[in-house]
Chains A and B, each alone.
Chain A
């Protein structure tokens, strides 16, 4: 405990450049998470570390900006009728348990294989999960786009329909986002997996949102909005845990929050202008780009573990910088799609109002 406190007391000095950088990344991260329910952490945590913030302080401070941001975002989206608070809380609590278990696995991997082993584990988990889930989400969005049926109501998958049909007495709960009663015996493992992933790759939403859509049968808009409730529950619990060890640098958290609260309001409003497949598109695109970013680092960790030939310092540096640049690119491209969709939506609405003002209430 004493060591941790000493490390935490070593909070970095902040200059105007650092503050501006964190504020801007916070803004873009907030914009994306207001829209798809998560995002930003994968850039913010390494971003803070690149400023000299110790890893654990970066994770803790990121989490401490996440829960108030998610709170504001979920309140905003609740006004549009997109939030299923009950589902969010049920998944959020089981996700909290998943976080604890995920952190425990992380520690065991680190003990057994050292830093490089732990990094390799995180990167491989990232690549595999994002390839499977991100690829699936993107493909689904692309199919909807190509079919020209973008206005059609989203249909629940076969798995979701099956889950909704299973009746396990004593465990059934009605969720408004699904418009069905399902057994919590299905939601608990899902929440747990979301939490475990959040502890491993820091972005639980990348599994939480697709799980709500494809496994439970929630509409994309409601799934991404409900993810904000999960992020709030998980973020609050996680922040408290880290704060108990004195690891939260509240200045960092509040600077990022300063930018992200501008972004999340905009991202949340953006969801009212778009068709549901755009949510999947943004999420899928970000996941697939981030996958390449993490994939680039795999050879570095393999070399550090002695599993492949040593890589020169210069190459390692180039790979690291490229990896980080790709992550920033992923976030920016997500923000671009959101803003563009919002811009188009507003323009169409203005045109429609000019043509027939009486039609729109």
Chain B
């Protein structure tokens, strides 16, 4: 009954995003020479590190957000708006 008022925690989503995030990091380090080689070329290859940063931020950002929610750390329920 007590848990009825609290929202369901996104454990499944956190685990999936966590696994993808770890896979991305493992991939980055396994292939670091190849990836650094392309990134160091510069010019239009500049899109590669930018795209990588967006991809990591989406996956890892989603994971870290859910991570704190699952731990029970959330924003204040009192103040949702500033003004």
Interface residues of A (CB under 8 A from B): 1, 4-5, 8-9, 11, 64-65, 67-69, 71-72, 75-76, 79-82, 179, 219, 221-222, 236, 239-240, 243-251, 253-254, 257-258, 261-262, 265-266, 268-269, 272-273, 345-346, 349, 360-361
Contact = CB atoms under 8 A, between A and B. Distances in A.
Given A222-B82, A261-B64, A249 B76 contact: no
Given A69-B57, A254-B56, A272-B79, A244 B49 contact: no
Nearest to A266: B68
Interface in B44-83: 45-50, 52-54, 56-57, 60-61, 64-65, 67-68, 73-83
Nearest to B53: A68
A246 B39 contact: yes
Contact of B64 (A11, A80, A239, A265): A265
5 contacts: A8-B40, A79-B75, A219-B82, A257-B56, A261-B57
A138 B81 CA distance: 25
Interface in B17-46: 25, 28-29, 32, 35-37, 39-43, 45-46
Contacts of B76: 269, 272-273, 345-346, 349
Contacts of A8: 39-40, 42
Contacts of A245: 42
B42 A4 contact: yes
B53 A253 contact: yes
Contacts of A82: 82
Contact of B65 (A67, A246, A265, A361): A265
A251 B32 contact: yes
Given A8-B40, A81-B83, A243-B49, 14 more contacts: A9-B36, A68-B53, A80-B80, A80-B82, A239-B50, A243-B45, A246-B45, A249-B39, A250-B35, A251-B32, A261-B57, A265-B65, A273-B75, A346-B76
A71 B60 CA distance: 12
A250 B52 contact: yes
Contacts of B77: 349, 360-361
Nearest to A276: B82
B67 to A, nearest CB: 7
Interface-centre pick from A4, A68, A240 (highest chain B CB count, 10 A): A68
Nearest to B29: A251
A106 B49 CA distance: 26
Nearest to B72: A346
B25 A254 contact: yes
Contacts of A79: 75
B33 to A, nearest CB: 9
A316 B32 CA distance: 36
Contact of B49 (A248, A269, A361): A248
A237 to B, nearest CB: 10
A257 B60 contact: yes
Interface-centre pick from B47, B76, B83 (highest chain A CB count, 10 A): B76
Contacts of B45: 243, 246
